Structure 1
Amino acid sequence: MVPARIFGFTLLAWLAAILLFAPIAALIVEAISQPSPSFRHLWDTVLWDYIENSLILVVGVCLMAVIWGLPSAWLTTRYEFPGRRFFRWALLLPMAMPAYVVAYIYTDLFDYSGIVQNTIRDLFGFQSAQDYWFFDIRTMGGAIFVLSLVFSPYVYWITSLNFNAQCQSLVHASRLLGANEYKTFFRVVLPLSRPALAVACSLVAMETLADFGTVSYFSVWNVTTAIYDTWLSLSDLSAAAKLACLLLLFVVILIALEKTSRRRSRYHNQHTMPLIRQQLQGKSRYLATAWCSLVVFWGFLLPMIMVINYAVMYLFDTKWAEFYKMLYYSLLLATTVAVSAVLIALIVLTAQRFGQRKLTAIPRQISSLGYAVPGTVLAIGVLIVTSGADHRINEFFNAIGISSRGLIFSGTLIAMGYAFLSRFAAIGIGSVDSGLVKIPYSLDQTAQLCGHRPLSTVKKVLLPLLRNSLLTAFLLVFLESLKELSAAILLRPFNVETLATYVYQYMSAEEFEVAALPALVIVLAGLPPVIILTASMNRK
């Protein structure tokens, strides 16, 4: 039985959880209940190629992200070398770059008509591509390279936190037993980091499956692009739902594999002495600086320089009326989603804090499921929910003699915001919870003894203490909503563009220069969350 004093919070938490989970549930029901000849045709022809490409892409991106992120995390955590403090936060900067922007920049550099190949032809007198060999950036390998650079901060960030938490005495014991630095890393440090590495790779894999802009631009056809084409080209919602469920199955398998890999692992650490950084000597210190510089240069600095260059060169070609319009829609949408995510986080976590843990913990778990689901999948689920709601409402109006109202939810900004909220609410919940767990329950009890009810306790005690966590949650959700492309491109209303869809539209038309300023706005908006993550790492 839920106590009457927190019944309102519990009811709101369950309603929020049901609302956020509805697109996933509707997607599964649609995929199971409706037959689709188009899906059968895909199954017999190209679907297995799409699945194979998805698997190759996920494995390749995870491996490359580990190659970029793991050595960087170990170097900045374990050693002192020139520029370490700078690289400590700069290695997170690729997180602020949308993958589809980086994809265009490297295509513009390395394609046949790009700067690099033009320079090679001018220097050596080559007349055509048959006169020399050069790699093709618009391939599976190019997509893996770009996505691994953009997602490598997940590996770097999570493994850095893990390395900082490891005990120096274990490293000392390894060195006393005769192991050098390399053996100590591979036999002691890396096995202890396996759970963190598994979590990081799972995040990278889910972000890779969720990406649409990069794989579409590089013509790497996988399950994500198949969902997009099935809905927009064939207008077959049932086939799109079945493909979305297939992608959802990939995500479930990834999560299950990650949990299974850590099921029997046990790590015991009775000492708290952290790792002590050593000063690198000789060539090693410059090699460490060179490696970290390479990651920052390829992942952020070079794309940022190119975006700024385009934005300045073509500033007067910017379509300012369109720019202001899409900036308004983007900021309105991102702000609304971020505020809603923070409110939902407060409701769900307050219900869990003041209520019965087993009963009120379920809404939190349900509300956090969306982040593991690719945006394309959620977009199809939201289409099913909102179009169904529109049909029911119009049928009701017709039944009482009132003319139909047309599209009320689907085909509007409401549907886009709903999809964004379903996916990014988990970020808000996680950010607010990280601050809430640090507030002792004795403060709640003291407020209760002073006669304050739960709502009054939240307003006068918890909210002032959660200001930093709430700001972090708002900024993270705001950034993700600003960058989100896969759901926006399926759900955007007619004649409405966000910054992300506008950039992708001109990027696909090979006119990125026109959209360089909106791309720069997205990147600059991504810098405050990176600063917050850096501060979090330093505190820990």
Structure 2
Amino acid sequence: MSLFATKTGQHPWTAAAFAVAVLVGLPLLTIVVVSFSPSETGTLLRLWNTVLPGYIFTTIQLACGVGFGVLLLGSTTAWLVTACDFPGRTLFNHLLMMPLAMPGYLIAIVYIELLDFAGPIQSTLRHIFGWKFATEYWFPRITSLGGAIVLLSLVLYPYVFLMARTAFGEQAGRWLEAGQTLNLSPLQSFFRLVLPLARPAIVSGLLLAVMETVGDFGLVQLFSVNTFTVGIYNTWFGASNLVDAARLATALLLLMLFLIWLEYLSRRQKRYIQSTGVPPSRKKLSRIAGICAFSWCFFPLFLGFLLPFSLQILWFIEGFSEIRTETFGHDAMNTLLLGGTTAFAALVVALILAYGRRLAPSAPLNGAIRIAVTGYTLPGPVIALGVLLPFAWFDRQLIALSEQLWGVSPGYLVSGSIAILVFALLVRFMAMAFGNIDNGLGRISPHCDEAARILGLRPFGILRRIHLPLLRSSMLTAVLLVIVEVMKELPATLMLQPFNFSTLATRTFSYASEEMYKQASLWSVAIVAAGILPIFLVNSRLLSSLRQRTPGGTS
């Protein structure tokens, strides 16, 4: 193999793939190295004696609460649309994924405006009952840990819904038939057979939702819930202490790696679920049961997507005259520039990684790629810190060299430009581009490569003339997903954005921090609207794939 690789020029591709994978994985190594370096400004013991226990306890509370919420909402709605027939079932099968288009900080803005003391609901109650002060009545406080748990559950349950629906749709029919042979009722079969055997898939979705919860910044910052991400941000920008921020980031990184390990174990258990099977025969529900099923599915969809999105549109229409459209246009152009540049870079890197592994797979290269695509599971503040530290070090060396040679300081050319932000977002969303490209290459038969080699094509020629035309759909999907995720990304963009550079997400958060919720409506509507189409396309593709794998499958 090595002789063939040398002759056909595959070694440069694999070397480039390995080098790029190491470069993309650099932020992780940087965080760990800096956090354990000796420094006078911070120690692990001092952090443990001050803020670290509080961050750990609050983060665990938030993760457990959201975990329970997404498990309840996701698994039950998935079973209803898979195994039951009731009015609106087909529509819910598509729409129950829509809350994923609603970032946590956007739903937080809506419910703060709606449920806060000066909001319309409390104002109406005070008007009806003659109350004047908050001490005269009790009303649940939305900006609290409990409020954060509820809202994050409403926007993250689709992770569990998606995984559970796939597991139920593939094998639940056989499990229910087995339950009938054991004289079990449908309800007993569900709890004793269907749910335990679908556990690996459900746990996988649950852990994805928990990782998103642990990495959330915008919602918990607006709600003053002191989790790890808020602590990193406050330590970095409030106390200007990068070393302590890096140490907090390392603690958060260890927690995320533990969750990744748990998710990996859950995926290993999926070997017990066959790739083909029998979907359950949907049971026609009675009128009362159908109303209950409809209401239960409508509840998270309405609170997690329809209500907040409708209110954002309403606020946009009502306050259009107060909205600075020129500012919006400037922010939209910045966002598209950032998203397009990041998507193009991610596409190129993904092609190098996937094609390099296709040419000459090896254990070191696979390990490097695994590190390179870990960024999506890491919180934005961790990636921002891991990127800033080496880039700032490089700029300082460049400044010192320039002053020594020419007596002029060029300033922070790299860490103060959009380049550092593009690199951070590339690390954050590399997994999306690589997954699409790698799956697309996997569908191309190796015989195509062999035939091309016989005709005298070298690896680059094979990629350009054969693979790229066949990968158009995968590349378009990768670019679209990366652009949309860049539009929604808040913490990394907020921490690394250059001076006088704002995106849709950072401007929205800036308005929300100043309690100008309605003025942020146009920016909010644009972010959510951009996320709807990719989610709808991906969900439609998954439903189509499920129907192909299961004869008579669910739709």
TM-score by length of 2: 0.93
Alpha-carbon distance between aligned partners in 2 of 1:471 and 1:277, rounded to the nearest angstrom: 36
Is the Cα contact below 8 Å between 1:167 and 1:271 reproduced in 2? no
Question: What is the one-letter code of the residue matched to 1:337?
Answer: T
When residues 480 and 316 of structure 1 are mapped into structure 2, their CA distance, relative to the original with a 3 A threshold, is same
Q: Which runs of 5+ in 2 are unaligned?
A: 546-555
Question: What is the one-letter code of the residue matched to 1:278?
Answer: K
Is the Cα contact below 8 Å between 1:167 and 1:269 reproduced in 2? no
Structure 2 residue aligned with 1:356 = 361
The Cα of 1:452 is off from its aligned counterpart by 2.1
167-176 vs 335-344, greater mean Cα deviation: 167-176
When residues 263 and 356 of structure 1 are mapped into structure 2, their CA distance, relative to the original with a 3 A threshold, is closer
Residues 369-416 of structure 1, C-alpha deviations (whole Å, 9 max, x = no match): 211211100101111011011012222223333522111111221111
Structure 2 residue aligned with 1:192 = 197
Alpha-carbon distance between aligned partners in 2 of 1:229 and 1:258, rounded to the nearest angstrom: 30
Secondary structure at the aligned position of 1:34 is classed as: coil
Is the Cα contact below 8 Å between 2:144 and 2:223 reproduced in 1? yes
Q: Would you say 1:483 and 2:494 are equivalent positions?
A: no
Structure 2 residue aligned with 1:507 = 512
When residues 355 and 334 of structure 1 are mapped into structure 2, their CA distance, relative to the original with a 3 A threshold, is same
Structure 1 residues 294-309: aligned runs within 5 Å: 294-309=299-314
Question: What is the one-letter code of the residue matched to 2:246?
Answer: A
Question: What is the one-letter code of the residue matched to 1:345?
Answer: A
Alpha-carbon distance between aligned partners in 1 of 2:412 and 2:468, rounded to the nearest angstrom: 38
Secondary structure at the aligned position of 2:406 is classed as: coil
Structure 2 residue aligned with 1:14 = 18
The Cα of 1:290 is off from its aligned counterpart by 1.2
The Cα of 1:359 is off from its aligned counterpart by 4.5
When residues 264 and 294 of structure 1 are mapped into structure 2, their CA distance, relative to the original with a 3 A threshold, is closer
Is the Cα contact below 8 Å between 2:144 and 2:224 reproduced in 1? yes
The Cα of 1:426 is off from its aligned counterpart by 0.8
When residues 234 and 13 of structure 1 are mapped into structure 2, their CA distance, relative to the original with a 3 A threshold, is same
Structure 1 residue aligned with 2:454 = 449
The Cα of 1:27 is off from its aligned counterpart by 1.2
Residues 332-381 of structure 1, C-alpha deviations (whole Å, 9 max, x = no match): 00111111111111111111111134354233212112112111001011
The Cα of 1:268 is off from its aligned counterpart by 6.0
When residues 278 and 461 of structure 1 are mapped into structure 2, their CA distance, relative to the original with a 3 A threshold, is farther
Structure 2 residue aligned with 1:67 = 72
1:48 to 38, 42, 53: 53
Structure 1 residue aligned with 2:503 = 498
Structure 1 residue aligned with 2:27 = 23
The Cα of 1:273 is off from its aligned counterpart by 2.8
The Cα of 1:38 is off from its aligned counterpart by 4.4
1:143 to 135, 139, 148: 148
Structure 2 residue aligned with 1:287 = 292
2:272 to 267, 270, 273: 267
Is the Cα contact below 8 Å between 2:339 and 2:487 reproduced in 1? yes
Residues 177-218 of structure 1, C-alpha deviations (whole Å, 9 max, x = no match): 222222111111111211111211221111111111100100
352-361 vs 205-214, greater mean Cα deviation: 352-361
Structure 2 residue aligned with 1:117 = 122
2:320 to 305, 315, 322: 315
Structure 1 residues 264-413: aligned runs within 5 Å: 267=272, 269=274, 272-401=277-406, 403-413=408-418
When residues 337 and 176 of structure 1 are mapped into structure 2, their CA distance, relative to the original with a 3 A threshold, is same
Question: What is the one-letter code of the residue matched to 1:183?
Answer: Q
Structure 2 residue aligned with 1:532 = 537
Structure 2 residue aligned with 1:99 = 104
Alpha-carbon distance between aligned partners in 2 of 1:440 and 1:165, rounded to the nearest angstrom: 27
Question: What is the one-letter code of the residue matched to 1:75?
Answer: L
Alpha-carbon distance between aligned partners in 1 of 2:102 and 2:498, rounded to the nearest angstrom: 25
Is the Cα contact below 8 Å between 1:210 and 1:486 reproduced in 2? no
Structure 2 residue aligned with 1:245 = 250
The alignment yields a C-alpha RMSD, in angstroms, of 1.9
When residues 436 and 284 of structure 1 are mapped into structure 2, their CA distance, relative to the original with a 3 A threshold, is farther
The Cα of 1:11 is off from its aligned counterpart by 2.2
Residues 126-160 of structure 1, C-alpha deviations (whole Å, 9 max, x = no match): 23222222111110000011111111111111221
Question: What is the one-letter code of the residue matched to 1:9?
Answer: W
When residues 269 and 92 of structure 1 are mapped into structure 2, their CA distance, relative to the original with a 3 A threshold, is closer
Alpha-carbon distance between aligned partners in 2 of 1:166 and 1:445, rounded to the nearest angstrom: 38
The Cα of 1:263 is off from its aligned counterpart by 6.1
200-209 vs 167-176, greater mean Cα deviation: 167-176
Structure 2 residue aligned with 1:169 = 174
Alpha-carbon distance between aligned partners in 1 of 2:267 and 2:432, rounded to the nearest angstrom: 23
Alpha-carbon distance between aligned partners in 1 of 2:276 and 2:102, rounded to the nearest angstrom: 39
Alpha-carbon distance between aligned partners in 2 of 1:123 and 1:456, rounded to the nearest angstrom: 75
When residues 274 and 261 of structure 1 are mapped into structure 2, their CA distance, relative to the original with a 3 A threshold, is closer
Alpha-carbon distance between aligned partners in 2 of 1:432 and 1:532, rounded to the nearest angstrom: 17
When residues 328 and 6 of structure 1 are mapped into structure 2, their CA distance, relative to the original with a 3 A threshold, is same
When residues 270 and 371 of structure 1 are mapped into structure 2, their CA distance, relative to the original with a 3 A threshold, is closer
Alpha-carbon distance between aligned partners in 2 of 1:265 and 1:406, rounded to the nearest angstrom: 53
Secondary structure at the aligned position of 1:526 is classed as: helix
The Cα of 1:331 is off from its aligned counterpart by 0.8
Question: What is the one-letter code of the residue matched to 2:420?
Answer: A
The Cα of 1:258 is off from its aligned counterpart by 3.5
Q: Would you say 1:474 and 2:512 are equivalent positions?
A: no
49-58 vs 348-357, greater mean Cα deviation: 348-357
Structure 1 residue aligned with 2:550 = none
TM-score by length of 1: 0.96
506-515 vs 299-308, greater mean Cα deviation: 506-515
287-296 vs 401-410, greater mean Cα deviation: 401-410
Secondary structure at the aligned position of 1:305 is classed as: helix
Is the Cα contact below 8 Å between 2:229 and 2:381 reproduced in 1? yes
The share of aligned pairs that are identical, in percent, is 36
Question: What is the one-letter code of the residue matched to 1:510?
Answer: E
Secondary structure at the aligned position of 1:361 is classed as: helix
The Cα of 1:8 is off from its aligned counterpart by 2.6
